[in-house]
Structure 1
Amino acid sequence: MSSRALIRPAWTPATIALMVGGFFVFWPLGLAVLAYILWGERLDAFKRDVNTSTDRLFGGLKRSGFGGTAFGASNTGNVAFDDWRDAELKRLDDERRKLNEAAAEFEAHARELRRAKDQEEFDRFMKDRQAREKTRNDARNDGPIVDGHPA
C-alpha cells in the first residue's frame, strides 16, 4: 500500500475537481490550481535553487565583512593574531584616509587649472570680439552716408 498525497501536481480526480471548483468560485483560483498541476513538480527544484542562492549570497556577505566585530572580523581566539590584525586594519584605515585626502587635493588642483584655462579662453574670446567690433565700427564709419545711415 503506497501513501501518496491526494492533492499532488498530477492529473488526479481530486486536482481536476479542485481546478473546476476553483474556476466556478473565482477564476484566478482555478488558474492557480491548473498551474500547480502543470508545473508543481518543478516547485521543489525551484525552492531548492532559491535556498541555495540565498545561502550563497548571505554566506558571501558574511565572509565579506557584514556582521561580526569591527571590520567584519570576529575573534579567532588567538590574542596575538587578533592584536596584529587590529593593528594592520588600523594602519590600512590610516592609509585610506591619506589617499582620500590626496585625491581631494588633486581634485581641487585640477578644478583650479580648469578654471584658469577657462578664464584664459574667455579673455581671448572677449579680446577677439572687441577687435571685431572695432573693425566693424571702423568699416561703417569709412563708407558713404546716405540719409544719415551708412551705406
Structure 2
Amino acid sequence: MTTATHFTNPSWFARAEGWMDDRGKGAWIAAMILGFIFFWPLGLALLAYMIWSKRMFNGSCRSARRAHHRNYHAAMKTSGNSAFDAYKQDTLRRLEEEQEAFESFLQRLRDAKDKAEFDAFMEDRTNAARSTSVDAPTDEARPA
C-alpha cells in the first residue's frame, strides 16, 4: 500500500485515531480512563500508545496532524517539470534514508549508554558485596 493510498483509504484504526485527534488530548485521556474502568488492559494499552506516540507530551494532536497532512501533500504535489519532480523524489528518498540512519545511530547511542550504566551498576554491586564480605567476620574467624 502506498502512502497516497493510505491517506485516501485509511484503515479503521487510522480513522479512529484521526477522530480522536480532532477532538484533542482530552478525548484521548477520556478514552484511556474509560478503558481502565471497563477493561484495564485496554486502558493500559491506550496509555502506552499515547506515551509511545508522544500524544501525552505534544501541544495539540489536531494541529500536529493537520501540519503533517499539509506538509505531506505539499511535498507530493507535482510541479509539472518531470526532471524537477524526479530530483525532488530522489532527494526526499535520500533524506528519509538519512533520517532512518540517524535514528538508528541515536538508538545505538542509547543502547551503549544503557549498557554502560548497567555495567557500572553491576560493578558497584559486586564491589559492595565484596566489601561487606571482607568486613564481616565469618564463623571460623570468631573466637569461641
> Which TM-score tier does this pair reach, normalised by the shorter chain?
0.3 to 0.5
Name which structure has the greater RCO, CA cutoff 8 Å, separation 6+. 2
Larger Rg: 1
Give the TM-score normalised by structure 1. Answer: 0.44
